[in-house]
Amino acid sequence: MRIITAEQYKRNERQTIIDQTLDQTVLNIIKDVQTNGDDALRKYTNMFDNVDIDELVVTEQEFEDALEMVDDNFVAAIQAAIKNITRFHDLQKEQSWFMTRENGIMLGQHVTPIEKIGIYVPGGQADYPSTVIMNVIPAKIAGVPSISLTTPPQADSTINPHVLTAARLVGIDRVYKIGGAQAIAALAYGTQSVDRVYKIVGPGNRYVARAKKWVYGDVAIDMIAGPSEICIVADESAPPSYVAADLLSQAEHDEDATAICITTDHMLAEAVRREVDEQCQSLERESIIKESLAQNGRMIVVQSLQEAFDLVNDMAPEHLQLMIKDASLHVSNIRNAGAIFIGNYSPEPLGDYYAGPNHTLPTDGTATFSSPLGVYDFIKRSSIIHYSKGALREASDDIITLARKEDLEAHAQSIQQRRRKENNI
C-alpha cells in the first residue's frame, strides 16, 4: 500500500466513468428477457455461469438436501445472527398515525408494506448467506407478504446449501437460480417462471448494479451499490496488526474494493503497511487482495484528526472504523458514512455478519445522501385527508385563490361545485 498525503489523495480521486459498452450489454440483456422470458434466462445462465439449467425455481427437495449438507455450527451461528439482526430492525418499525383538528379535520399517514419484493444475492467469487438474512429480515418485519430471492447457480446447477439454509431459516420459499443482469430484468418485468416484483434490493457486480439503474422507474430499488469500501481513522493507540487485518477483510472482496487508512502517525502508517504485506501472504485470496490494494489501497497521513474527519466526510465511505483514543467522543464529527464502527474491538466483519445493523450500505460516496437498508425501505406511506363540510367552507376561498393563481380553473371549480351544490358551502 502506498503512503500518501491528503492532498495527493484529493488530486487522484477516482472519477466516475460512464461505460457505454457495459450499458449497451445490460440493455440488450434486459430487452431479451422482456421479449423471450425463461429462454433468455437459460441462455444467459449458460453463457455467463457455464451452467445448463432446466428448472429455474429451487424445489422443496433441494431445500431439504441443503439443510442436510450444512453443519450444526453454521446453523447455530446464523440463528444467533438472525436474533441480533431481528432485534435491531424491530426498532425501525413505523406505525400509521392520525391527528384531528378543529371543525372535523382529520389528517394522517397510513403505513403499509410493499407487496412484492425481489432480493438479489450475489455469487461468483463467494456465496453470501449473510446477504440473505440482512435483506430478508427487514422485509419480513415490515410485513412484506411476497418475497422472491434470486442468486446464481453453482456448476452443478444447484444453489449453495448455506444460502438455501439461510433462506429457509428466515422463511423464504421462493428462490430462483438466476444471476446477473438477467435476474434483475426477470424480477422487474416477470417471465413465465419469475413473478414480477415492485422493488428490488440487494448488492451485486457491476452488471447487476447497472441493470438496477436501468429498471429503476419501472420498479423501485434500494440503491446502486458498487464495490466494497473501508476507511479506518487510526492514531498511535491503534494496534497496527488490527488495522491491517481490517483493511485486508475488505480488500479480499474483489479487485475493485477500496481499503484506506487515514492516520495522524507516520510511524503507524509504516507499521500497518508492513503488517498488510505479512498478513496477506497467508490469505487464500492473496492475488485478489494485492490487485485491490494496488489499485485502491492507500495509507493517508494527515496533520490532525480534524483533517482526517474532513477527508472522511468528503469520501463518505461505506464502512468507517474509528480506531482512535476516546473514539465515541468523535462520532459527532462524522456526517457521511454508511456504518461507523467505534474502537479497536468493533471490526467491520462484526457488522457484516452479527451485530444487528444492516450490512447493505451506500457505497461510492452515496452515503452523502443515502442510508443503510432498513425496515423503512420496505414500506410506503399514504397521506390521509378528511375535511368536514364546515372545514372545507372555511378553506374554500384560499384554495380557489391559489388554483386560479396557477391558471388551473378546473381545480377551482372542484371547490365551486361543492359551494353551489351545498348552498354556498
Q: DSSP assignment of 296-362, as one string?
A: HEEEEE-SSHHHHHHHHHHH--SEEEEESTTGGGGGGG--S-SEEEESTT--HHHHHHTSSS-S---
Mean pLDDT of 297-315: 96
Looking at the whole model, is its pTM more than 0.95?
A: no
Say yes or no to pLDDT of 16 above 60: no
Which domains, and CATH codes, for the chain? Answer: 20-221 (3.40.50.1980), 227-369 (3.40.50.1980), 388-421 (no CATH)
Say yes or no to pLDDT of 347 above 70: yes
Give the whole-number percent of the chain exceeding pLDDT 90: 89
Q: In angstroms, rounded to a whole number, what is the distance separating the alpha carbons of residues 268 and 237? A: 9
Mean pLDDT of 278-286: 94
Q: What pLDDT does 12 receive?
A: 67
Name the residue type at position 425.
I
Q: What pLDDT does 8 receive?
A: 83
Cα 333 to the center of its chain, rounded Å: 24
Provide the pLDDT confidence category of residue 266 given band limits of 50, 70 and 90: very high
Lowest mean pLDDT among 36-40, 121-125, 166-170, 214-218: 121-125
- DSSP structural state of residue 165: H
Of residues 105, 117, 176, the one with CA closest to residue 143: 117
Say yes or no to pLDDT of 125 above 70: no
Mean pLDDT of 283-288: 93
Lowest mean pLDDT among 2-6, 25-29, 65-69: 2-6
Say yes or no to pLDDT of 192 above 70: yes
Cell numbers at 130, concatenated: 449473510
Is residue 421 within a helix (H) or strand (E), and if so which, with residue range? helix 409-421
Mean pLDDT of 269-289: 95
Residue for grid cell 359551494: 419
Please say whether the beta carbons of 208 and 184 come within 8 A.
Answer: yes
**What b/e string do you get for 158-192 counting C-beta neighbours within 10 Å, with b at 16 or more?**
bbbbbbbbbbbbbebeebbbbbbbbbbbbbbbebe
Mean pLDDT of 172-200: 97
Mean pLDDT of 97-115: 96
Say yes or no to pLDDT of 59 above 60: yes
Q: In angstroms, rounded to a whole number, what is the distance separating the alpha carbons of residues 346 and 320? A: 11
What is the residue-averaged pLDDT of the chain? 94
Provide the pLDDT confidence category of residue 6 given band limits of 50, 70 and 90: confident
Mean pLDDT of 312-321: 97
Q: Which residues are catalytic?
A: 318-319
Mean pLDDT of 407-411: 97
- 366-406, pLDDT tens digit by residue? 999 999 999 999 999 999 999 999 999 999 999 999 999 99
Q: What pLDDT does 408 receive?
A: 97
